[in-house]
Chain A
Amino acid sequence: MPKDGGIGAPTRRREDVRFLTGTGQYCDDMNMFGQTAAVFARSTVANGVIKSIDTTAAAAMPGVLAIFTGEDFVDVGGNPAGWLINSRDGEPMKEPKRPVLAHGKVRHVGDAYAAVIAETVEQAKDAVEAIEVDIEELPAIVNMKDALSSTNYVHDEIGTNQCFDWGWIEDNRAATDAAIKGAHHVTTLELVNNRLVPNAMEPRCSMAQYNRANDEYTLHTTSQNPHLTRLLISAFVLGIPENKLTVIAPDVGGGFGSKIYHYGEEALVLAAAKKLGRPVKWTADRTEAFLTDAHGRDHVTKIELALDEEGNFLAFRTETLANVGAYLSNFATATPTFLHGTLMAGNYTVPNVYVNVKAVFTNTAPVDAYRGAGRPEATFSLERVIDKAAREIGMDPIALRRKNFIKPDQYPFASAAGLEYDSGNYDALMDQMEKVADVAGFEARRKESEKKGKLRGFGVNAYIEACGIAPSNLVGVLGSRVGLYDAATVRVNATGNLSVMVGAHSHGQGHETAFPQVVAEMLGIDPQSIDIVHGDTSKIPFGMGTYGSRSLAVCGSAVVRATEKIINKAKKIAAHMLEASDGDIELKDGVFSVAGTDKSVTFGEVALKAYIPHEFPLEDIEPGLEETAFYDPANFTYPSGAYCCEVEVDPDTGKVTVESMTAVDDFGNVINPMIVTGQVHGGLGQGIGQALLENTTYDENGQLLSASYMDYVMPRADDVPFYGVDHSKGTACTHNPLGVKGCGEAGAIGSPPTVVNAVIDALQSGGKNVTHIDMPMTPHRVWSAMQNV
């Protein structure tokens, strides 16, 4: 290992120096000469017909430069859905246009119907207030069940509020039904996977410049994947040629999924910059973030688990309503389907799985992938119903899971939900979890809690996720309209240091530290001589971005492939310099040597030779030392884990405190264990937030009641315990060069059912026969559940 940290070293994050010293450069930190400000006029009603918009008075106000309405964008394209889902009857999903600005109708509170460009933000805000708009309010469509039976449509032109009715796997349906019908025991549970507001610390911001001299646009924007944003704007929305549009995502303060997508504000500032010939910047305020960032989750599910006399799982069957909100966000259709239904066999050998998902339009903010994206919903349904089943048949919840686990000698394992798991060892994870969490000592701790008048509960959970998305060929068959590979360029500079251009964007993941560890390990050089370049379409070959815990597994693999090419070429150069044959050159600790001799040249000498190619075999080797690789994986990766937690419930108030949380994960090989631990910590915090705190609530009129931090409960440090995190029991991924699986989402996937299971256990221990409480398990909800039994 290089002395400053190669693969496996807990190297401190180099990017933290700038983040912690206030020298990061976020979009809103950047200001351009001649910059103007955009402010949006947003609907205050959830559903309404735009009768008229009069901008005359607003246009005459001080500093106002331009006003746009939906009318200005009727001739440009809509923001598309990236994944085509077909219904069970073969019909393609309904895809109503998602315009840059609302036209004809507003469809959720916060839907933008106009935008003012002015010299200053305050002038633009004043002018927005002066826009005279006449919106005829219609009844809001909020509840999904009501939406499906209503003739009041979010999108009149499609004549239904159902986007699709998807079955997975349709051919398994009859067998699953039969298995459930004939089963010894069936456990049924209806549950809600609560809607979450992403709440990235940095609200969205987009700033556009237009250069009339060469007809080029530059968009600085808060994006997790600038190339995808460019592609969507170029190919679908504004039609700006890709070679005329640069998209830059500089430092980005968190995304959690919400910044994967292209939003109308990006198109608006680009169009305005061209019209005005001046830079245009828009920065969301926190209210806009609450109302317009793509939300997460929002499933209502009925799940059934069939078991035989011994507790063997025979079948899982689910019916889910998935809220997609008012418009289809880019991956809204993939999240409740292929990122959800395909995981519905969990870690288990269950032979039958059938999943039905109806996606529903409502007058609420669009819903799309949020940390975990479909997989938390699958895990929650499975692990809650398994827990309920264990209680019903009187079996220990850990033993029931173990009985049904896929065993280490069964890989590759074809799951009943259509995936082929490559590796894993769920029993080993459970063993480690029992050790780390001291599960054996729980009863003693429960007694201590009872002495204080508290109910203590233990909850356990096992999860599997599909990450590193994914093979383009496979996702193409499943409906994806994009490929899911990634790219990297390794540029060795003449003086021996490296710039590595990567398609994955880092907005909290620590790529700037972890990726150099990989390259440094391969080349045997100091990682400090390697810098990562990301987030700029003009500097990077291509990229599909950062989401789905894919950066290391996919983009990291591209980095490995490009570095291998560098090594191959460098060996040829070294062979020439050492007058030896390529095959005899060995690379170790940054030195190329001829096997069995003391003849050697350093990596730096080879780099210099590549750029000063005197006496160079130009007929065999090109000058320079720069290589690019695109990597398209052979399969998803399958991280898995065993989680448990202990909670205390105050029976007088219903308040739940998480006393301990243990996460034992199989992430495959680990590049930087410190960063991985941090990723798990973040995910656990979000998972506990979902389980206990985060209460996205729309009222019957479609008003978001929890639209500020006065009512939306974000987890804070004192809401979470010190975590027990362990990733020592990983099994290497079998199909990518680093053997890595991905760790970004795990904590948020594994923790919510763990917490709910623990709360139910606590209440049961107190003699309260409560079998389920929907998240968030607020004190009020827990107290109410206790009163109602």
Chain B
Amino acid sequence: MYAFDIERPATLAEAVAALSNEDAQALGGGQTLIPTLKQRLASPEKLISLTGVAEMKGISSSGGVLTIGGGVTHGEVASDGSYKALSDLASNIGDPAVRNRGTIGGSVANNDPSACYPAAALASGATIVTNAREIAADDFFVGMFETALDEGEIVTAVKFPIPEKANYQKFVQPASRFALVGVFVAKTADGVRVAVTGASNEGVHRWSAAEEALSKDFSAKALDGLSVSADDLIADLHGSAEYRAHLVAVMTKRAVEAAA
């Protein structure tokens, strides 16, 4: 890696101030950025580590909403258990080393098109809390590796309304074990939301036809005959767009079966 300076602010205000420097870059758990640096594919002059920011730690539950600090690791979410489908998802991200370093704030801010958390946030109708504002998940995930975050804006927490029923099914890309296709299904009093990760060149997205069908009848059978178009889906050496489209339907059914 190239040489860089690193700061580790203890408060959110210090972190925001440090990130106002245009050569500074935020460092969460480092599970994407550190390998990138090691490959010399990025050369930030200054890294602002967020792991010491007190306001970004901790998980709390109130009024049916689970609030997870942006600096909370996947391992902490996995062992929390108050939103079981989310904890299950977290427990299947990467390996123990990744789960003990990687954070939810880092994951949603990076918005990797194959990451798991964006599907949970979008399907749950979560709210992304930053140092400046609150952003609905529907508005937050803009496209592959793109979010609504402004330069220097920090994800301080993610608020998840806990659904009545939910489940996440991940069909892993066998090498990285990211989602080749992952589907998160959440049923609330307002209806059903289905979010798909891993499949699309546009990143995480909702499958509205499935949502409509499942809102009427929350059963796998309700999905019979539904399929997604392969247009604009990812094709790579692990699977064609058609295969991904097929897997979206299979994983959605399985998620409904597991949630019901």
Binding site for B on A (CB under 8 A): 122, 125, 129, 287, 652-653, 655, 693, 695, 697, 705-706, 709-714, 778-780, 783-784
Contact = CB atoms under 8 A, between A and B. Distances in A.
A710 B237 contact: no
Given A129-B40, A652-B250, A653-B247, 17 more contacts: A287-B39, A653-B171, A695-B237, A706-B237, A709-B176, A710-B176, A711-B175, A711-B238, A712-B175, A778-B174, A779-B171, A779-B174, A780-B238, A780-B239, A780-B240, A783-B243, A784-B240
Nearest to A693: B174
The residue among A122, A655, A779 with the most chain B CB atoms within 10 A of its own CB is A779
Contact of A709 (B175, B240, B243): B175
A714 B247 CA distance: 23
28 contacts: A122-B3, A653-B250, A655-B171, A695-B237, A695-B238, A697-B237, A706-B237, A709-B176, A710-B176, A711-B175, A711-B176, A711-B237, A711-B238, A712-B175, A713-B174, A713-B175, A714-B175, A778-B174, A778-B238, A779-B171, A779-B174, A779-B239, A779-B243, A780-B239, A780-B243, A783-B243, A783-B246, A784-B243
Nearest to A699: B237
A122 B4 CA distance: 13
B169 to A, nearest CB: 11
Which 6 pairs of residues, A with B, have the shortest CB-CB distance?
A: A780-B239, A713-B175, A713-B174, A710-B176, A652-B250, A780-B243
Nearest to B177: A716
A710 B175 contact: yes
Nearest to B39: A287
Interface string B216-259: 00000000000000000000011110010011001000000000
Interface of B: 3, 39-40, 171, 174-176, 237-240, 243, 246-247, 250
Contacts of A129: 40
A714 B240 CA distance: 21
Nearest to A654: B243
A125 B171 contact: no
A778 B174 CA distance: 9
Contacts of A125: 40
A134 to B, nearest CB: 22
Contacts of B176: 709-711
A543 B7 CA distance: 55
Nearest to B249: A652
Contacts of B238: 695, 711, 778, 780
The residue among A122, A693, A783 with the most chain B CB atoms within 10 A of its own CB is A783
Contacts of B39: 287
State the main secondary structure of chain A at its contact with B.
loop
Contacts of B40: 125, 129
B258 to A, nearest CB: 14
A720 to B, nearest CB: 13
A709 B237 CA distance: 13
A702 to B, nearest CB: 15
A536 B247 CA distance: 54
A129 B174 CA distance: 33
A712 B3 CA distance: 29
Nearest to A715: B174
B213 to A, nearest CB: 19
A401 to B, nearest CB: 32
Contacts of A709: 175-176
Contacts of A706: 175, 237
Contacts of B171: 653, 655, 779
A572 B239 CA distance: 72
Contacts of B3: 122
Contacts of B246: 783
A709 B240 CA distance: 20
Nearest to A784: B243
A708 to B, nearest CB: 8
Contacts of A784: 240, 243
Nearest to B176: A710
Contacts of A779: 171, 174, 239, 243
A100 to B, nearest CB: 25
Contacts of A287: 39
A356 to B, nearest CB: 31
A783 B237 CA distance: 14
A709 B3 CA distance: 25
Contacts of B250: 652-653
A693 B176 CA distance: 12
A695 B237 CA distance: 8
A655 B169 CA distance: 15
B259 to A, nearest CB: 18
Contacts of A714: 175
The residue among B40, B174, B175, B240 with the most chain A CB atoms within 10 A of its own CB is B174
Nearest to B171: A653
A617 to B, nearest CB: 67
Contacts of B174: 693, 713, 778-779
The residue among A706, A713, A714 with the most chain B CB atoms within 10 A of its own CB is A713
A157 B39 CA distance: 36
A653 B174 CA distance: 13
A62 B130 CA distance: 43
Nearest to A125: B40
Contacts of A710: 175-176
A204 to B, nearest CB: 18
Nearest to A650: B250
B243 A705 contact: no
B234 to A, nearest CB: 12
A36 B32 CA distance: 31
A286 to B, nearest CB: 10
Contacts of A713: 174-175
A287 to B, nearest CB: 8
Contacts of B240: 780, 784
The residue among B39, B171, B237 with the most chain A CB atoms within 10 A of its own CB is B237
Nearest to A710: B176
Contacts of A655: 171
Contacts of A122: 3
